[in-house]
Amino acid sequence: MDRAILHSDLNNFYASVECLLHPELRGKSVVVCGSIEDRHGIVLAKNMKAKKAGVTTGMTMFEAQRLCPDLIGVEANFDTYLDYSRRVRNIYLEYTNQVEPFGIDEAWLDVTCCLRAYGSAENVAREIKERIKKEIGVTVSIGVSFNKVFAKLGSDMKKPDAITVISRENFQSLIWPLPAKELLYVGRKTAEKLQKLNICTIGDLARANRGLLEQHLGKWGGYLHTYASGQDIAPVRKYDERTEIKSVGNSMTFYKDIVNNNEAECLVYVLAESVAARMREYGFCRARTITLTIVANTLEHTTRMMKMQPPASTSKEIAEYAMVLFKKHHSWQNLVRGLGISVSDFLAQEQLCMGESVIMREKTETLEKTVEQLRNRFGRNSVLRGVVLQDAKLSSTNVKETHVIHPVSFKK
């Protein structure tokens, strides 16, 4: 018997919550954004009316209001969105313990256990959809399929407030004509590589030679062929199942455009301190690899990584490596809108390198642990680096708790 997999996607989640809490916004064009005062607001989410007017995520409020003059901007309240996300998740958990979150507003559910009681996965999806609308007050689109990748595609096909069933009988007619970029894990650069191979649709990808894909895309070429062919067998994890942590990171969209290396270094140190603190929380001594993502004000993303030698454990080391990457790969043709830092390839036990100043490292690590203890007791911003004090607004931001990079895990 095939598995019954749902992918649930809360429609326009941030904007929907704001319209729910503020009835005066209903029926109007609404976006949720960052600080309107400092940056004219960066659009983080929009409701359907704003979307129809052409507003897209990442625009400034100024740009969005040129497209939609009656647009209303609401500043983001992530604590509230997390609370609503938890309430929705609790509904999911009444049906199955195999609930795998995919960000704050999406989740996979394996409801195979419900089939005898409900007759079909579509019936389960319909009841969940109606309960969320009635008990929470927001709408959801749900994809129903026999694997996770196709369920995700289903939830994207009809919005808002819809259910799409993708079965073994209809997936070739429903999914294969779609552009290849619609498939999960096919990003812009991968889509461009596929285009050069004359692979334009998901069907083209499924029919392509697996060896050719692996030759041009590496192991991911094989994975994508598996996904497009409907052969994904990845399980939906149990909600309380702890997965192996392969990377730790933080990112942040700055409240204004970063215009020089000094401003970039200020944000880099804030992010590096958060990353180092998370490493210690998870019990990692050091990391061998650092990845830096630079988001230009054109919304173009540049991601670069390097091996850290010796492996890093302190925020100072992480920041220094990040700045090496930043200076090497950003030429200032465009200003910078945001940065992200993540580290990976962890060492669980201490391994000192030859020639390393052991005493200096121990002093730095002891200092950072002491600072972290003070922050845990008196607040995140009770102790700050001098470089961070150059920017009063940044120094008052709790980056560690509100700007986590949540990596998507992959299982064969």
| Each residue's pLDDT tens digit, 12-60 | 999 999 999 999 998 999 999 876 665 456 788 899 999 999 998 878 8
What are 85-108's pLDDT values in tens digits?
999 999 999 999 999 998 889 999
Q: pLDDT tens, 287-310? A: 999 999 999 988 788 999 999 988
Contact 361, 369 (CB under 8 A): no
The 10 Å Cβ neighbour count of residue 363 is: 11
pLDDT at 368: 60
| pLDDT at residue number 375 | 52
State residue 373 phi and psi, 5-degree precision: -65, -40
What mean pLDDT, rounded, does the chain reach? 84
- Look at residue 313 in the predicted model and tell me its pLDDT: 82
Is residue 99 a contact partner of residue 90, using CB atoms and an 8 Å limit? no
The total of other beta-carbon atoms located within 10 Å of residue 328's CB is 11
Class of domain 176-228: mainly alpha
CATH superfamily, domain 247-402, is DNA polymerase, Y-family, little finger domain (3.30.1490.100)
Cβ within 8 Å of residue 346, ≥6 positions away: 245, 279, 284, 285, 286, 287, 288
Instruction: Evaluate whether 43 touches 18 at the Cβ level (below 8 Å).
Output: no
- The verdict on whether 106 is a catalytic residue reads yes
Q: Is pLDDT above 60 for 355?
A: no
The candidate with the shortest Cα–Cα distance to 101, out of 17, 7, 15, is 7
Averaged pLDDT, 235-241: 85
The residue annotated as part of the active site, out of 18, 63, 94, 106, is: 106
**Angular region, 309: left φ>0, alpha ψ -120 to 50, beta rest:** beta
pTM for this predicted structure: 0.69
Q: What is the pLDDT of residue 257?
A: 86
Confidence tier at 255 by pLDDT (50, 70, 90) = confident
- Bigger pLDDT: 245 or 176? 176
Determine contact, residues 278/248, Cβ cutoff 8 Å: yes
Output the pLDDT for position 285.
78
**Core vs surface per residue 237-270: b (16+ CB within 10 A) or e:** bebeeeeeeebbbbbbebbbebeeeebbbbbbbb
Contacts of range 297-306, beta carbons closer than 8 Å, 24 or more positions apart: 297/257, 297/334, 297/335, 297/336, 297/337, 298/334, 299/58, 299/337, 300/334, 302/329, 302/330, 304/328, 304/329
The pLDDT, as a whole number, for residue 387 is 53
Domain boundaries, the chain: 1-168, 176-228, 247-402
DSSP 301-357: EEEEEEEEEEEE-SHHHHHHHHHHHHHHH--SSS-EEEEEEEEEEEESS--PPTT--
In contact, 140 and 130? CB cutoff 8 Å? no
**Confidence at residue 33, expressed as pLDDT on a 0 to 100 scale:** 84
The pLDDT value given to residue 233: 93
Helical packing angle, 188-196 and 210-217, nearest 10°: 130
**246 has a pLDDT exceeding 50:** yes
User: If we measure between CA atoms, which residue out of 385, 258, 397 comes closest to residue 319?
Assistant: 385
How far apart are the C-alpha atoms of 98 and 380, rounded to whole Å? 34
Question: How does residue 324 score in pLDDT terms, banded at 50, 70 and 90?
Answer: very high
- pLDDT for the residue numbered 406: 35
- Domain spanning 1-168, CATH class: alpha beta
